[in-house]
Amino acid sequence: MRVKVSKRLWPHRQASTKSDKFPQPNEVTEGALQVWRTLPERIRQDPSLASFRQEHERLHGDVDPLPAEDGDGRIENGHHEETAMATHAFTQIGINVTNEAGQVRVLDGRDLENNNEDQHDEAETHGKSLIRKYLIWFKIAVLLVVWCVFTAFLMSNNEHVDQLSLISVPRNSSPRVFPIATSDLQRIGLGLRGPFRLQENELAINDSVPLPVLQVVVMRSYFDAEGMEIYIENATQLWQLDVVYPHLIDATKDTKKQRTFELSPIDPLWLAQANRTELSFEFTSTIDGELPLQLNVDECPIYKRDGVIYAAAVLCGLYIMIIWEIVNRTFAAIIASTLSVGILAALNSRPSMATIMGWIDVETLLLLFGMMILVAILSETGVFDYLAVYAYKITNGHVWPLINCLCLFTAVLSSFLDNVTTVLLMTPVTIRLCEVMSLNPVPILMCMVIYSNIGGALTPVGDPPNVIIASNSYISKNGVNFAVFTLHMLPGVLLVMVQTYIQLRFKFRNISDLQFKDSPEVEELRHEIHVWKRAAASLSAYSKDEELVRQTLMKKVNRLKRSLKKRMTAVIEPAPNYQQTLANLQAKYPIRNKQLLIKCSAALIFVISLFFLHSVPELQRLSLGWTALLGAIFLIILADIEDMEAILARVEWSTLLFFAALFILMEALTELGLIEWIGNMTEHIILSVGEDQRLMVAILIILWVSAVASAFVDNIPLTTMMVKITISLAQNSTLNLPLQPLVWALALGACLGGNGTLIGASANVVCAGVAEQHGYKFTFLQFFKVGFPIMIGSIIVTTGYLLVSHSLFAWH
């Protein structure tokens, strides 16, 4: 049976086109042009918005870095075919069906539109909509309860302000007593700032000059009715701190130490004889000189056992909201971070606004912001489309060779650049590459970002956990430099890349899993509808100019929807061959603005060169964030961009806000004791095994704990805590554990663990944000189904590598 598609215009459709009439150039105002310039390039250049472009060129000339029209008057953005199809979306389709007997029957559009669903389907749909309505009301009710809880906590408690006191501890073991105002306490917190020896510093100890220490204990005194002290006892265990040598005090930077003391119960026998009790701190120093200290007493410290439970509950709530997509992930992070601050307020530890702002890692946000501006301007040149077509050409249009080249290039680039930067550069190329090959970008992006995290584990500058580990002074003084780090990580990373490739080939063994379920034309129309809807939703109706642009975009959406309905009923034409497809793509996606591309290349060379120099510690002068910001400013000056609103509109503000909320959440969970609890449990398990198996157990525990924890909490505070535990284990003379194997286990675990979940690594979040901006969304569960099994496989392979190389052959 042959199916032939023909078109003819139905009279009842002609009336509907009046409401879809696009504005004429004389209707476009200067304010509407400003709104138009903030739209994404692929929407701004669509012929349905040609009146805006014509008015812009009439008023300003071609000052915007936009693609020019060719000699035939066609716009070189590759969307004229789609728009021509959308422009005639009101044209009805007639389908001529010829059967075996040669009889022809014409089905017009009215026959297709009058196929209504039966009553059973309508009832089922009505039931689902009713359930959905109840679930929405339930969600709103729960979120309102949470809002009321943290609002009440924040309103009922003032900000916690440290009361600082300056004391001086006498020389040569003479005690210094500091009274405590309240005597009826179960626990008390003490913060000290002074010339303490950092755990990371090398010890210059000899037998003749012992290291000086400071001993702190809480004393409880019992007094009779006449005020005479009748008994004194230790209310807590002794806290001992290492102090620097006397001649180094003036040259040593003050270090902060904190401790929560659990007070022993009052002795009932002495209480019966006493009239009152008093608590006091007793400080004793073995240093030969006065020891200046800054003291802060907290009479209501957080009870860490309860704090860990509260922190776990907040973290579970965040994952519930993200996994089941109850709310947008950025809003979920804002709710969770605000709730965690509210819990701190309820525990009388509400942080000040200055403290909260200090929790945000501005360095990371600055890096993302600068690179997002660079990528936004670079996308105007059409280089991403051009590179995608070039990759299609060198792989002859074969799917897996193309994926392999893409993932391998991403991994190598992530080894020497920050992997967030790599993902920002590679995600637009990957998306365009998938579009020209009619592939679903979501699974390809997952493969790409997984390899980015693996490649970032290779060098000390590839991933933030590696930067934290390699920049530690104690670790670097023990022989862990750039070359040694890379040499020991290279075999493990290569093994993991092979294992990941095998798992991905098995996961996507059916090529249909990498393609859309519907025809490429249908999926492309759905994607276009999503992009245009997103652009329309970003505009408000507060001004007449924005409303004019928004209505124009919605008219385009309506036409695309009608085109989609027609495509669902039309016959699918056979795909052209490789040579024809390549020729069409090369003609469709040339470099649109070579002059701007040269300027972008100069800025990228500057940024990437400084990124590479950042890998050499002796040449580090600028941080990654400063480098990205300077590169963005440099490019804006070169490109002479006057309309900053159009550039800032391309920045993924929701991603930046998500990171800011996540930083606050993780610091609040740290204050509640979650990260410390993970570290203490790790150390306790390692100390509980026999000496002959201690290195093997230490490698296993550090690797697996850091990997699993990094998948669900931010790996930056976790790595900071685990570095301290690793150094503590290596410095413990009774354990006799080498430092380097523990460092490799921590680095591999923290980096590879980020592949476990969507928010396990910064690169994952950035990739998801950029993909959503292009109209492709992948959920937490979609990433979890691919990433978590790969993470488990990676850690298993890494376990074998570390045990063989260090426990069996003692490579270290």
427-448: pLDDT as tens digits: 998 998 888 888 889 999 999 9
**Helices 762-773 + 441-456 axis angle, to 10:** 150
DSSP secondary structure string for all residues of 149-166: HHHHHHHHSPPP---EEE
* 12 has pLDDT over 50: no
The 10s digit of each residue's pLDDT in 354-406 is 999 999 989 889 989 999 999 999 988 989 889 888 888 888 888 999 899 99
Q: What is the mean pLDDT of the chain?
A: 82
702: tokens are: 């550090």
∠ CA 294-300-305, rounded to 5°: 110
CA 365 to chain centre: 10
- Report the alpha-carbon distance of residue 367 to residue 625 in Å, rounded: 4
Report the DSSP beta bridge partners of residue 190: 259, 297
Whether the per-residue pLDDT at 141 is higher than 90: the answer is yes
Q: Is the pLDDT of residue 117 over 70?
A: no
User: Looking at residue 782, what is its pLDDT?
Assistant: 93
Q: Is the pLDDT of residue 18 over 70?
A: no
pLDDT value at 424 more than 80: yes
Q: Is the predicted pLDDT of residue 102 greater than 70, yes or no?
A: no
> How far is 424 from 770, CA to CA, in rounded Å?
8
Question: By mean pLDDT, which of 172-186, 266-280, 327-341, 398-412 is the weakest?
Answer: 172-186
Would you say residue 146 has pLDDT above 70? yes
Residue with tokens 């000059």: 209
Question: What pLDDT, on a 0 to 100 scale, did the predictor assign at position 359?
Answer: 92
Contact present, 37 and 60 (Cβ < 8 Å): no
Residue with tokens 């800054």: 294
Which DSSP symbol is given to 733? T
* Contact between residue 170 and residue 271 where contact means Cβ atoms under 8 Å apart: no
Contact 779, 752 (CB under 8 A): no
Helix (H) or strand (E) holding 190: strand 187-194
Cα 690-696-702 angle, rounded to 5 deg: 110
pLDDT band of residue 528 (cuts 50, 70, 90) is: confident
Nearest to 787 by CA among 439, 457, 454: 454
Question: Is the separation of the CB atoms in 564 and 525 below 8 Å?
Answer: yes
Q: Which residues pair with 193 in a beta bridge?
A: 256, 294
Express each pLDDT in 30-39 by its tens digit: 777 777 777 7
Q: Where are the domains of the chain?
A: 165-200+209-301, 438-515+673-811
pLDDT in the model for residue 585? 84
Q: Using CA of residue 730, residue 731, residue 732, residue 735, what is the dihedral sign?
A: positive
Fold adopted by 165-200+209-301: Jelly Rolls (2.60.120)
- Smallest Cα–Cα separation from 511: which of 412, 590, 406, 437? 437
Exposure string of 507-521, with b = 16+ CB inside 10 Å and e = fewer, is bbeeeeebbbeebeb
Residues 6 or more apart in contact with residue 253 via CB below 8 angstroms: none
Which of 98-107, 230-239, 803-812 is predicted most confidently?
Answer: 230-239
**Is the pLDDT at 96 greater than 50, yes or no?**
no
Residue 216: both structure tokens together: 């702190």
Distance (Å, whole) CA 317 – CA 265: 37
Nearest to 603 by CA among 415, 371, 367: 371
Residue tagged 């740290």 (tokens): 670
Confidence of residue 786 (pLDDT cuts 50, 70, 90): very high
Length of the chain: 812
